[in-house]
Amino acid sequence: MHEGHEQMFRRRFFVSTLLSIPVLLYSETLQGWLGFSVPAFPGSEWINPVFAVVVFAYGGIPFLRMAVPELKDRAPGMMTLISMAITVAFIYSLASVFFPTESAFFWELVTLIDVMLLGHWIEMRSVRRASSALDELAKLMPDTAERITDAGDTEEVPVNELAEGDLVLVRPGASVPADGVVEDGDSDVNESMITGESKPVSKESGDEVIAGTINGDGSLRVRVGATGGETTLAGIMRLVEEAQQSKSRTQVLADRAAGWLFYVAVGAAAVTAVAWTVATTFEATVIERVVTVLVIACPHALGLAIPLVVAINTSLAARNGMLVRDRIAMEEARKLDTIIFDKTGTLTEGEQGVVDMTTVDSVDEDDALALAAAVESDSEHMIARAVREAAADRNISVPDALDFEAIKGRGVRANVDGEEVHVGGPNLLTQLDSDVPSHLEHFADEAGQNAQTVVYLVREGELIAAFAMADVIREESYRVVDALHDLGIEVAMLTGDSQDVANAVADELGIDTVFAEVLPEDKDVKVQELQDQGKLVGMVGDGVNDAPALTRADVGIAIGSGTDVAVQSADVILVQNNPIDVVRLVKLSKASYRKMQENIVWAAGYNVFAIPLAAGVLAPIGILLSPAVGALLMSLSTVIVAINAQLLRRVDLSLPNLPGVAPPTDAQAAD
C-alpha cells in the first residue's frame, strides 16, 4: 500500500509542479513582489484559472478522497485540513474570475497542493515497509523429502505429500522436512534458528527433531509425527502473522496537530463571519476575510514538519548502521523503558570459544594450545574450530599431526611429534583412565558452575591441560548494558539455553531480568507479559525463534547478520551487527522527536499568529492581514521548518557522547 501511494504522490507532484509554473509566472502578486513581468497575449488572463483547475483536479483530488475516511470516523486530521484549504481556495479563486474581489488565490492554491504532494511523497517513501517475514520462514522448509519405501528404497516426494507415520531419510547437511522422532542413526542437529540453542544438539534413536532444522554430519531416519500446519515452524509462522496484525495503529503527531488546527480554523472562520457581519454588513469583504482565515489555516510547513525530519532521521540512521523500516517504532524508541536481548548471536558471538585454560606446572599454555590445535586440525567440530581460533589469536605455530582419529562420543586423537595426543571431554578421561590433578579438577568445577564446557588435553596418557569452552560474550555487550542502565532502561535477556548458562551470562553482564529455557512461543508470551505490566518493550534478536517476539515488541530490533526472517520481522535493523547501536537508536529517536515537536511548534505557531490577524482582531487599529501577506508568512514558516529539520544532521551519535560507553569507533554524519 505504501509503495503504491509513494509512486502516486511522486507522479502527481512532478506533473502538478510542472503545471504550476505558468500560474506562478502569470501571478500579478508574484510579479509585483519579485519585480518581473511576462508577455500578455489574447487569452493569457485564462492561464491562471485553467492551469489551477487542472492542478486541483489532478493533484488535489487524492487529498479529498483521503479526507472522506477521516470525516466518516469524525476524526479530522491532515487530509481534512488540506482538503478544506484547497477547496475553499479553489472555489473562491474561481468565483473571483466572474465576480470582483480584492485578489484570487490561484498561486497559493497550486503551491499548497505542490508542497503537500511533496510532503506526502517523502512520507510514503519513509514509511514504506514491505515485510516478507512469512516468506522467509517458509524458505526454511525443504521443497522435497526422501521417503523410505516398504522395500527399503528411497523416493523423492514433495514435502506436502508426507503423512504422519512416514519414514524419511535426512542426509548430512539437509533440512529436516517434518517434525518427528529419530528411528535410526545419530547426528548433531543445528536447532539455533528454531530454539535459540547455541550448540548443535546430539540426536539419536528416540530423540525428537523439528522441521526446518539443519542436520549435521550423520544420517538420520526420522518417523514423521507432524506435517504442514502442525509443525513447530508452522506455529512460529502463525505467531509472526498474529503479532504483525496485533500492532496498534499509532496516530502521527502531525495528524493530531492538524485535527486540532481544523477545529481552530473552522471556529475562527465562524467567529470572523459573525463579527464582521455585526460590525459592518454581510458583503464580499466578509467572505474574503473568512476565506483568508480558512486558507492560511493550512500552512505548507505543517505538511513538511514531520516528513522532512523522518527523511533526515532515516538517512542519519543508515549512515550509522541502522536501517529504519517503521517510522512509528523509531519514534517509540525514545520511550523504551525495557529492552530484551536474545542471548545467542546478539549478546554473544553465537559460537563456542576458549574462554579460559589451565595446565600442569611443567607445560606452557601456548605449547598446550599448539598441541590441542594440531590434534583438532582435521576436525570440523565447533570445539575444534574454537581451539584452532584460540591458537591463531595468540599467533601460535601449530605442529603437524598424523594418524588423526575421531573417537565417537569421547574426542579425537592424533600423533604429534611422535607422541600420542588426545583431546576430548570427561568421557575421554574415563576411557584413558587418566588421573586428574587437583587444580585441574578445581578448574573444571568452577567452569561447570559457570555453565562452561571443559575439554582436556592428554599426552601419552598424562592429563596436561584443560580448556573451558563457552559461547563467547561480545565485548560490546558489557558497554551496551552499562549504557542502557545509565539511560534508565531496564535490560532483560531471552534465551533457549539452560538456566545455568543464562544466569552465567546475565551475572557477567549485569542484566536485570533473565528468561531461560524459553521456547519460541514463550518468547512472544514473555514480551507480552512485560507489556501487560505497562512497559514499553524493545526486542533485540537475530534468529527465526526471535521473529514472533520482534513483531510483538513495541520496537523490534534485528541484528543485521541474523537470519532474513528476523530482519524482515523487525522495525529497525542493526546492519553492523553491533548491539551498541541500540543505544544510538534511542539517542537518535529522542533527537528526532525533539525536532518533530519543534517543527510542529513552528508550523502551528504561524497559525497562532496569522489566524487572528487574518480574522481582523487588529482591524480597529488599522492592522489587517491581506491574503498576499498571509501567503508570504506561510512560505516563511515553511523555510524555517525546513532549516530546523536540517539541524538534525548535527546530532552527535559518536560513542564518547553516550553514557557509559567507551569510544572504539566513530559515528557517521548523514549526507
What lies within 8 Å, CB to CB, of 152 at 6+ separation is: none
Torsion-angle region of residue 466: left (phi > 0), alpha (psi -120 to 50) or beta?
beta
Would you tell me how many other CB atoms lie within 10 Å of the CB of residue 467? 27
**Which DSSP state fits 337?**
-
Contact between residue 197 and residue 169 where contact means Cβ atoms under 8 Å apart: no
Quote the cell numbers at residue 610: 496569522
Q: Which one-letter amino acid corresponds to residue 386?
A: A
How many angstroms separate the first and last alpha carbons of the chain? 28
Residues in the chain: 671
- Residue 237, classed as helix, strand or coil, is helix
Distance in angstroms (rounded) separating the CA atoms of residues 373 and 183: 35
For residue 261, the surrounding DSSP H or E stretch is helix 253-279
Would you tell me how many other CB atoms lie within 10 Å of the CB of residue 168? 23
Contact between residue 655 and residue 579 where contact means Cβ atoms under 8 Å apart: no
Residue with the three cell numbers 505504501: 2
What lies within 8 Å, CB to CB, of 363 at 6+ separation is: 464, 465
Quote the cell numbers at residue 602: 513552528
What lies within 8 Å, CB to CB, of 140 at 6+ separation is: 175, 193, 212, 233, 544, 565
Catalytic pick among 342, 482, 542, 554: 342
Contact between residue 235 and residue 212 where contact means Cβ atoms under 8 Å apart: no
The per-residue b/e assignment along 510-539, b for 16 or more CB within 10 angstroms, e otherwise, is ebeebbbbbbbbbbbbbbbebeeeebbbbb
542 has catalytic annotation: no
The phi and psi torsions of 102 (rounded to 5 degrees) equal -65, -40
Contact between residue 655 and residue 665 where contact means Cβ atoms under 8 Å apart: yes
Contact between residue 370 and residue 522 where contact means Cβ atoms under 8 Å apart: no
Distance in angstroms (rounded) separating the CA atoms of residues 135 and 407: 41
Distance in angstroms (rounded) separating the CA atoms of residues 47 and 57: 15
Contact between residue 22 and residue 110 where contact means Cβ atoms under 8 Å apart: no
Helices (H) and strands (E) in the chain, counts: 24, 22
Contact between residue 297 and residue 268 where contact means Cβ atoms under 8 Å apart: yes
Contact between residue 326 and residue 594 where contact means Cβ atoms under 8 Å apart: no
DSSP labels, 142-206: -SEEEEEPTTS-EEEEEGGG--TT-EEEE-TTPBP-SEEEEEE--EEEE-HHHH--SSPEEE-TT
Distance in angstroms (rounded) separating the CA atoms of residues 54 and 607: 28
What lies within 8 Å, CB to CB, of 34 at 6+ separation is: none
**Which DSSP state fits 397?**
P
Quote the cell numbers at residue 156: 523423492
DSSP labels, 456-472: EEEETTEEEEEEEEEEE
Q: Across the strands, what pairs with 462?
A: 459
Residues serving a catalytic function are 342
